Amino acid sequence: MSEANEQPTAQLETEAKASTESTEQLKILKYLFIVGGEKGGVGKTWFTYILIELLLQLDLDPTILDLDKTTPNVAKAYLKDIYHQWSAANIQALQVFEPISRVEEGQENHQARLNKLLSQQILLSNSPDDTKSRDRLSEVVELSDNTIVSLPAQSQSGLCHWLDETDLTMSATNTQIVLFWVSDGSYESLSLLEEFIYKYPDLQYCLVVNKGIGTSSQWENYRLGLVNPDLNKMIAKDELKGIVIEKVVLSDEISIRIQKENLTFSEILTDPDTNKRLAYRLKTWLEQSFTTIKSTGYF
């Protein structure tokens, strides 16, 4: 074949590949973002805050699920009305919820049904027999345009039970499942992610290494690829996305207000009592974090 014929052929192949990728992207109408990591104290809550703020900025209006029964800080900050419903109903963390019955089809719209499902906290039990909570989670995802699920530590078993009985391609609802694995860069954290990837290869994964949590030695190992070279190879081949969230240095005043008053980042930024210099520092860090997360290509 002549060089003149080879060029159009290569161009057609490139265009066909681009068209296929575009078509695949169009098929994904909504996302289920799961923020996990199994270990406690690695920054899952703060990353969830960032992710929520990003989706709100993009007008994607996500349904937010906080599955942490002990310290539901995400719900306290971003689901104040719903969290108060839980408290008003005297819902206890270890209570076994009664199933939420459906009304006859046509008598309840999607939003009303979604509100009813969210009126009680969804808790993924580690028991394989607890199908009620898993069914409720599935229904919320089906009814929502985009969903963010914030997992507590030590919840991998419950998540696995749900994944084992779920169509991971979510083809029926055109939903893409993305697991953001928040890590401190330690060997234990990254090894757990590797095990999860091998068990559920059909999921989309993004390793979120929290620079504000890990020690300097852990960070040096992560940078050099010594902690888990297999994961670094996956990142290099774009089989696994990897991002680094920079450390934010907040004043004691802002940190205490966020924790004690259950304020969102937006509430801190728009509060006239917030020091303008500190607000600018937080705003700049958020914008940098947004840019980092958007580099994954999911937004």
Q: How many domains does the chain have?
A: 1
Q: The domain that contains 56 carries what CATH number?
A: 3.40.50
Domain range for 203 is 28-294
Is residue 216, in this structure, part of any structural domain at all?
yes
What local confidence, expressed as pLDDT, does residue 148 receive? 96
Is residue 158, in this structure, part of any structural domain at all?
yes
Is residue 9, in this structure, part of any structural domain at all?
no
Q: What is the pLDDT of residues 138-184, one digit of tens each?
A: 999 988 989 999 999 888 889 999 999 888 766 666 888 999 999 87
The pTM of the full predicted model, rounded to 2 decimals, is 0.81
Separation between Cα atoms, residue 254 and residue 283, nearest integer Å:
13
Q: What is the pLDDT of residues 178-212, one digit of tens each?
A: 999 998 777 788 888 888 999 998 889 999 887 76
Is residue 6, in this structure, part of any structural domain at all?
no
Is residue 108, in this structure, part of any structural domain at all?
yes
Q: What is the pLDDT of residues 254-296, one digit of tens each?
A: 888 888 899 999 999 999 988 898 899 999 999 999 999 999 9
For residue 121, which of 139, 110, 135, 133 has the smallest C-alpha distance? 133
Considering only 87-101, 212-226, 237-251, which range has the smallest mean pLDDT?
87-101
Query: pLDDT band for position 12 (50/70/90)?
Result: low
Is residue 12, in this structure, part of any structural domain at all?
no
210 beta partners: 245
Is residue 111, in this structure, part of any structural domain at all?
yes
Nearest 5°: phi and psi at 193?
-65, -45
Separation between Cα atoms, residue 73 and residue 46, nearest integer Å:
10
For residue 292, which of 244, 248, 249, 247 has the smallest C-alpha distance? 244
The number of residues making up the chain comes to: 299
Is residue 150, in this structure, part of any structural domain at all?
yes
